[in-house]
Amino acid sequence: MFNREMIRNIAIIAHVDHGKTTLVDKLLQQSGVFRENEAIQDRMMDSNDLERERGITILAKNTAIEYKDYLINIVDTPGHSDFGGEVERIMKMVDGVLLVVDAFEGCMPQTKFVLKKALEQNLTPIVVLNKIDRPNARPAEVIDEVLELFIELEASDEQLDFPVVYASALQGTSSLDADKQEDNMLSMFETITEHIPSPKESIEEPLQFLVTLMDYNEYLGRIGVGRVNRGKISQGQVVTVINREGKHKQARIEKLFGFQGLKRVEIQEAGAGDIIAIAGIKDINIGETIADSNNPEALPVLKIDEPTLQMTFLVNNSPFAGKEGKYVTSSKLRERLYKEIETDVSLKVEDTDSPDAFIVSGRGELHLGILIENMRREGFELQVSKPEVIIKEIDGVKCEPMEHLLIDVPEESMGAVMESLGTRKAEMQNMINNGNGQVRLEFMIPARGLIGYGTEFLTMTRGYGIMNHSFERYAPYAGQGVGGRQKGVLVSTETGVSKLYGILNVEDRGTLFLKPGTEIYEGMIVGEHTRDNDIVVNICKEKALNNIRTANKEETVKMKTPRIFSLEEALEYLNEDEYCEITPESIRLRKKILNKSERERAEKNRKLAKANV
């Protein structure tokens, strides 16, 4: 065990893409963790395939670095507010935070979100101004923004007196001076060891360990990761596990692991202040306390932010069900969803009256989208409904989630963006013109208004706009007519294969979502109508074979480029009467009721019922 005085436990927090994970890379590389001939990949902490593809951190991960005589435990946290459950728990494991801020972009919505969590836990902050080598970096202004944010979040006097390290994580340089950089990360290491306090817990008191993160290994089973809050823990020790409801059970510690670089190393014993992993306790879960058997005392239960968005996950019942997936039954779907909530405390799963449908609630579209993407890669087939915000009644008032929205747009797109957000009940809070052709707009907007807005926003700004948002609070319901799709869809009347002739025949009616040669079925959505109503089309139609030559026979017919949806775009696009069918190979949009006559009958009955209310 390390001397308690020489341990430093820190979390790295930041807005998405401000350089946290790259910073950890350079700290690891310069600490001598790797052999000289060892192959090193970028963003080593992003081990999940989806993290590497998207360039975001989804799961919190920890590492340990030895610097001089110090052991620095570092936890890399997600920057996106949809994964706030991870960030919140990590704050219980550390004594200080490195707040990484982009030297050009400055404070963003998630900067505020993650810093708020850190200050609430009374952690010691160090501000890292990253990307200082950017040509348009504005360090002095950004430091002022950070200070204003600290004041707004009611930081203590000690927290306001934060040290600043200027760095370029990409180049591996750092300094305490904004005007020059040293070709190493020594300024960072020295600031951490000097300013972050060592653990203050007692090693002599009875054991307390809070399970903060979960991992799984096929040989060891469930692995609980967390911090020893007090006392000592050793391999083979008999302990008491206290669950979130306060119930006790006996268990034995089979294996104990510490961290060294990116590796988990087996250890015999750990003490107060150590960040470790425990294996061998069946059914261990996040938020549970592992305590001394002779003196079992529970730690405070972790407070987790409530979900704000929900979707219905259903067994795939389309005409193509079972063709592309490995897991297609309701029992497999249920088992997978309930397995997910064991490691993701921000997620909720509820059974419904139907054995084939489950309500899944999460922190946002990205949160639920990542779960769906992981499931399709594992071989699942499923259908999901349109994402809906979770409405709550607070003190007798109907309330909905509100988002703090920050937008950077070119000046010429500003008017169109403001007009489009006005129709979605957004209220402008602030406008800053940076004088470089870019304008920053701040809004408060109902979360409903952002569903499906991403694609429209990118079209309006021709891809130059940047949009970030984070959950702010629940506020009184803003009324009907917020957000939603403005246009109708083209719905297939046939089951078969789409043909170029059939597509060309309906191109003037709207935008197609697929190419010729795609298998389709009746009730499947094949395009977007130019108007606000749905129409049925037959794109399986082939040109009649006859002997009549056309005057334009030699002309080459060109089809317009179809609009192909990503998973997130497909989920955003959905309407209340539609499903998104997801398989390992395909993403299809469809009507809930596939048959045209049945759809019309159901719509007629719905209108009658509404008129009679």
Binding residues for GTP: 17-22, 130-133
Spell out where 507-585 has E strands.
Answer: 510-512, 519-520, 525-529, 535-537, 578-582
DSSP 440-499: EEEEEEEHHHHTTHHHHHHHHTTT--EEEEEEEEEEE---S--S---S-EEEE---EE--
Of the chain, the end-to-end C-alpha distance in Å amounts to 70
Sheet strand arrangement including 208-217: 248-252, 238-242, 289-292, 208-217, 221-230, 275-279, 255-260, 263-266
Beta carbons within 10 angstroms of residue 69's beta carbon:
10
Give residues with Cβ within 8 angstroms of 322, minimum separation 6: 316, 328, 381
Query: Which one, of 229, 211, 167, 218, lies nearest residue 192 by Cα?
Result: 167
Query: Which one, of 256, 289, 251, 303, lies nearest residue 275 by Cα?
Result: 256
Residues forming the annotated binding site?
17-22, 130-133
3-state helix, strand, coil in the chain (%, to 5): 25, 30, 40
Beta partners for residue 250, in sequence order = 240
Beta partners for residue 383, in sequence order = 314, 581
Q: How many residues does the chain have?
A: 613
Phi, psi of 268 (to 5 degrees): -90, -30
